[in-house]
Amino acid sequence: MRYQNVCLETAVCTLPEEIVTTQEVEARLRSVYDRLRLPAGRLELMTGIRERRLWALGTRVGEQSIKTARLALERSGVDPRKIGVLVHGSVCRDYLEPATACGVHAGAKLAENCAVYDVSNACLGILTGAVQIANMIELGQVEAGIVVGTEDSRSLLETTIRRMNTDMTLTRQSIKPLFASLTIGSASAALVLTHKNISRSQHRLLGGKTLANTAFCHLCRSDEESRDGDSMNTDSETLLVQGVDTAKRLFPEFLTELGWTRDSFSRIFCHQVGKAHQKLLTDALGLDASRDFQTLSYLGNTGSAALPSALAIGMEEGVCQLGSQAALLGIGSGINSLMLGIRFAEGG
């Protein structure tokens, strides 16, 4: 997968105002911690997450995606009439039908000849949407496109806390699959991609590679329960090992596809899961962990918005030097891995 004509025009994220610390989460779990004799502080110690954010009660993900899409289009300078495809790529969505992208399209006031649809691919949804847009640009089908998504963790967090406090059958062993749900945060992110002929940034999306390791699709499953709210069960330990192994298998193929070595890029942006994942991943790929730009400690795991948000924040903070290259190393439950390469323009 190589691109000659695709540019990343802008990456943006929008964040909720409400902050919930890990200490506050554990304070609400004091009864189950006491019953199972779990040490306070274990969640932050295990994950490195000190806080996460929540959208205001009643927020619909489509409403927030409209705001994020508008901000992305404004910053990109792209004429909205040139947007030929809009993809909504988050795990969260407003309805089973119609596509959440439809409401975002209307709210962003895009043209009627713009293709509009949702993509679902766990934590890789926004990156997957970006690849589909890039393919359309490369084929000459569109000049520009936008992928956006919003993750809302409030229901999952509240449901998990309630279940942990009320289910008296839980043991120190059976409670483990629930802890990953306490790391989830809320965020919204968007990427605008254009043909190089109309790009102002000239940040080139070079291409990438994918790998599906679906024998492990059962390790992380989320369900929407009609009465109790969202729920998720995660075999975190096995998912950690198998997810990193999937990335380790893909990484050499990714380097070969782009003609890169480990020294070809100065920055990496990864899915934000936990500090153990970051160390295991960088060690497995033979990369210096200092090259990884992290938002995990203050945003938590924001699903499909995690890697794009880290990229947006990193670009805004100037961590990507002009003329440098960066690797986007995505991993999502399923298990799928998607890796992309970017070259930042010499002149910004």
Choosing from 97, 112, 317, 346, the catalytic residue is 97
To the question of pTM greater than 0.75 for the whole model, the response is yes
Given 7, 123, 270, 320, which residue is catalytic? 123
Pairing of strands 18-21, 51-54: antiparallel
pLDDT digits (tens, 9 = 90+) for 271-291: 888 888 888 999 999 999 999
Amino acid at 268: I
For residues 303-327, average pLDDT: 94
Neighbour-count burial of 294, counting CB atoms closer than 10 A to its CB (0-12 exposed, 13-18 middle, 19+ buried)? middle
**Residue 16 · residue 188 · CB < 8 Å:** no
**Residue 91, φ and ψ in degrees, nearest 5:** -65, -45
> What pLDDT is recorded for position 316?
94
Span 204-343 CATH architecture: 3-Layer(aba) Sandwich (3.40)
CB 89 within 8 A of CB 83: no
Q: What is the distance of C-alpha 88 from the center of its chain?
A: 12
Give CA–CA dist 310/75, Å, rounded: 17
Tell me which residue of 13, 25, 107, 19 sits closest to 60, measured CA to CA. Answer: 107
Q: Where are the domains of the chain?
A: 204-343
Residue 97 is a catalytic residue: yes
Q: What is the pLDDT of residues 205-215, one digit of tens each?
A: 999 999 998 88
Q: Are 9 and 76 in contact (CB under 8 A)?
A: yes
